[in-house]
């Protein structure tokens, strides 16, 4: 079951299912590690959708849609009462 490549350097898609808990525990959960993760995620999205030669509206609207979904999740508790029923 031991893998040839050490566990720490594998990307997520190469990790086998049995090794997943130890892979997660090995990630860097320090504040600078988390900040690095956010930075990498931001630049990955930014370089793919915004910093292109003929960027369209897709880059911005995906962010805004995610924001709307996020706000919907936040206010779900108050919105639960507004489902379609005959009597409120």
Residue given tokens 């779900």 in the structure block = 76
Report whether 48 contacts 62 (CB < 8 A).
no
55 is a contact residue toward other proteins (CB under 8 A): yes
Choice between 26 and 35, CB closer to other proteins: 35
Which of 8, 81, 83, 85 is in the footprint of other proteins by CB under 8 A? 81
CB of 71 to other proteins, least distance (A): 4
C-alpha pair distances (Å), 85 with each of 75, 81, 82: 20, 9, 8
Distance of CA 55 to the CA centre of its chain: 22
- Min dist CB 72 to other proteins, Å, is 5
CA torsion 35-14-50-46 (nearest 10°) is 10
Least gap, CB of 28 to other proteins (angstroms): 22
Residue 83 near other proteins by CB under 8 A: no
Query: Does residue 39 bind other proteins (CB under 8 A)?
Result: no
């Amino acid at each position: 079951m031991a893998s040839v490549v050490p566990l720490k350097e594998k990307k997520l898609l190469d990790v086998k299912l049995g090794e997943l808990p130890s892979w997660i525990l090995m990630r860097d959960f320090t504040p600078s590690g988390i900040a690095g993760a956010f930075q990498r995620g931001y630049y990955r999205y930014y370089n793919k959708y915004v910093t292109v030669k003929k960027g369209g509206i897709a880059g911005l609207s995906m962010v805004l849609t995610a924001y709307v979904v996020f706000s919907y999740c936040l206010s779900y508790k108050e919105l639960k009462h507004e489902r379609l029923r005959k009597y409120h």
